[in-house]
Amino acid sequence: MARSASDATGGASAGSAVDRLRWLLTELPRQQAEAVVLCDVMGLSAAEAAQTLCLGLERLRRLLSAAHERLARLMSTEAA
């Protein structure tokens, strides 16, 4: 019998974390979300992500910075 991700971790926390991440990413502009997924989720370097997205390195860094700031605000709002 196949086990779901939440079963494998002993509860719903893994599913909840994935769902939360998906929701947070939908709250970002598309390019910011893409940059976060490539760098923070998939582990690409900034240079690799910039090349993948056909962006300059500085543009990618600005997108990541803005995304991280917005994600921090969203998460602090959730916690309040």
Local mean pLDDT, 10-residue blocks, the chain (80 residues): 42 76 95 98 97 98 98 87
C-alpha distances (whole Å) from 79 to each of 30, 52, 76 are: 24, 34, 5
Distance (Å) of CA 24 to CA 4, 5, 16, 20, 52: 22, 20, 12, 6, 22
Domains of the chain: residue spans and CATH:
31-80 (1.10.10.10)
* pLDDT recorded at residue 8: 41
pLDDT score of 14: 67
